[in-house]
């Protein structure tokens, strides 16, 4: 069984899988063209619009399409980038969904079709619980909820 991680230049996501013995494919247009193996990690330099999944059983697949041209944080530049930038970004999201479905991986977290069930906040993991509790109370109050 293999692991596939697309739009993954760093290969950080697959390192625990590789250490556990899985062969991991990390596909990113920034890798050198072709396939280059480093231990259990195979870096694939390819455009996601042209790449096909390996014909092996896939244990886990992850897709991290760039959000540069769709994130609200960059909205002020949308007009300058033009509709083509949005179209290209949506094509990458579309190919991600199609490849995820084709992968046959046993589970899929799909945040495109439903709301996330849990919000994670960095304060939950910094050992400053009083600061997190204070922040949670402020956020809850702003949302009209009880802390």
What lies within 8 Å, CB to CB, of 68 at 6+ separation is 74, 89
The domain tally of the chain equals 2
In 108-130, which positions are buried (b, 16+ CB within 10 angstroms) versus exposed (e)? eeeeeeeeeeeeeeeeeeeeeee
Do 79 and 132 reside in the same domain of the chain?
no
Do 107 and 128 reside in the same domain of the chain?
no
Q: Token pair for residue 146?
A: 């009880």
Lowest mean pLDDT among 42-46, 87-91, 121-125: 121-125
Do 21 and 88 reside in the same domain of the chain?
yes
Residues 54 and 103: their CA atoms lie apart, in Å, by 9
Q: What is the pLDDT of residues 10-20, one digit of tens each?
A: 999 999 999 99
Q: What is the pLDDT of residues 55-71, one digit of tens each?
A: 999 999 999 888 888 88
Average pLDDT along the chain: 82
Q: Token pair for residue 18?
A: 């590789």
94 or 136: whose pLDDT is higher? 94
Do 76 and 108 reside in the same domain of the chain?
yes
Do 127 and 91 reside in the same domain of the chain?
no
Q: Token pair for residue 121?
A: 């906040």
Do 90 and 144 reside in the same domain of the chain?
no
Look at residue 70 in the predicted model and tell me its pLDDT.
Answer: 83
Give this prediction's pTM.
0.70
Do 63 and 125 reside in the same domain of the chain?
no
Domain that holds residue 124: 117-147
């Amino acid at each position: 069984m293999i692991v596939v991680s697309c739009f993954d230049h760093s290969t950080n996501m697959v390192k625990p899988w590789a250490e556990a013995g899985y062969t991991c494919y990390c596909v990113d247009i920034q890798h050198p063209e072709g396939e280059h193996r480093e231990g259990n990690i195979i870096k694939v330099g390819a455009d996601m619009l042209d790449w096909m999944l390996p014909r092996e059983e896939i244990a886990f697949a992850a897709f991290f399409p760039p959000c540069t041209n769709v994130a609200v944080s960059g909205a002020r530049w949308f007009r300058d980038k033009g509709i083509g930038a949005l179209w290209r970004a949506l094509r990458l999201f579309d190919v991600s969904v199609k490849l995820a479905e084709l992968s046959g991986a046993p589970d899929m977290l799909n945040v495109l079709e439903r709301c996330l069930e849990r919000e994670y906040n960095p304060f939950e993991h910094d050992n400053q619980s009083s600061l997190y509790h204070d922040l949670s109370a402020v956020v809850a109050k702003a949302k009209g909820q009880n802390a």
